[in-house]
């Protein structure tokens, strides 16, 4: 069985490698990720992951893996900031509060779908002006839901999480391994 990763994220590739899995092909899905008016974060995240899986062109015998990560502050969806100003607004809103990071994982083989979402509670400390400005200047916020990446410099801003660290990074490994196994894909292949 061939595995197609429907993501350009190097973090997702690295996380899959921790399972001993190397995608046979990388085919990022190009879809509109705009939330529907009134859509709740968890529903939004799963919808986007499903849409990504359907947008990836694959043969009937190719297993497509897609994921989406969303930061939720209450009912508010904090996607990827469009600029440093929006990133600053997100980081300021998250400071001193708990929020949720939701990652939805979808596998598609032909018409069959396996799906799972993982919700992790995260608390970010209140950032000083120096910390905020240095983080924004680093550019690390670009392309990251909520404007931060826990696996990088922003890890210093996160004193507490409850749930899946790898889910916050972008691919919950325990749940992804279980889905791959359910779909018949060999996790931990013997060389």
C-alpha distances (whole Å) from 72 to each of 27, 121, 144, 167 are 27, 10, 13, 14
Residue 191, in any domain of the structure: no
Residue 189, in any domain of the structure: no
Give the pLDDT confidence score for residue 190 in this predicted structure: 62
- Under 8 Å between Cβ of 114 and 106: yes
Domain span at 45: 2-182
Residue 188, in any domain of the structure: no
- Under 8 Å between Cβ of 175 and 106: no
Nearest to 170 by CA among 3, 7, 2, 53: 7
Residue 120, in any domain of the structure: yes
Q: Could you give the 3-state DSSP secondary structure of residue 7? A: coil
Helices (H), the chain: 10-18, 41-55, 84-94, 129-138, 165-169, 173-182
Nearest to 31 by CA among 54, 46, 52: 52
H/E element, 99: strand 97-109
Give the pLDDT confidence score for residue 35 in this predicted structure: 95
Give the chain's domain count. Answer: 1
Catalytic residues: 68
Measured distance CA(169)–CA(30) in Å, rounded: 21
Q: How many residues does the chain have?
A: 191
DSSP code at position 56: S
Give the pLDDT confidence score for residue 147 in this predicted structure: 97
Measured distance CA(166)–CA(151) in Å, rounded: 9
Residue 187, in any domain of the structure: no
Look up the pTM and report it.
Answer: 0.94
Residue 88, in any domain of the structure: yes
CATH code, domain with 98: 3.90.950.10
Give the pLDDT confidence score for residue 75 in this predicted structure: 96
Query: Per-residue pLDDT for the chain (191 aa), expressed as one digit of tens each?
Result: 899 999 999 999 999 999 999 999 999 999 999 999 999 999 999 999 999 999 999 999 999 999 999 999 999 999 999 999 999 999 999 999 999 999 999 999 999 999 999 999 999 999 999 999 999 999 999 999 999 999 999 999 999 999 999 999 999 999 999 999 999 998 876 65
Give the pLDDT confidence score for residue 186 in this predicted structure: 86
Give the pLDDT confidence score for residue 100 in this predicted structure: 98
């Amino acid at each position: 069985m061939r595995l197609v990763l429907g993501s350009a994220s190097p973090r997702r590739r690295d996380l899959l490698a921790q399972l001993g899995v190397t995608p046979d092909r990388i085919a990022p899905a190009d879809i509109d990720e705009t939330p529907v008016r009134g859509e709740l974060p968890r529903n939004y995240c799963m919808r986007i992951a499903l849409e990504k899986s359907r947008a990836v062109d694959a043969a009937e015998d190719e297993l497509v893996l897609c994921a989406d990560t969303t930061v939720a502050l209450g009912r508010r969806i904090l996607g990827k900031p469009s600029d440093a100003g929006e990133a600053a607004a997100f980081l300021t809103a998250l400071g001193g509060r708990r929020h949720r990071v939701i990652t939805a994982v979808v596998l598609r083989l032909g018409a069959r779908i396996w799906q799972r979402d993982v919700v992790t509670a995260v608390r970010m400390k209140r950032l000083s002006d120096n910390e905020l400005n240095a983080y924004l200047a680093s550019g690390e916020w670009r392309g990251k839901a909520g404007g931060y990446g826990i696996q990088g410099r922003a890890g210093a801003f996160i004193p507490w999480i409850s749930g899946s660290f790898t889910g916050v990074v972008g691919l919950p490994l325990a749940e992804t391994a279980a889905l791959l196994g359910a779909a018949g894909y060999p996790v931990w292949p013997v060389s």
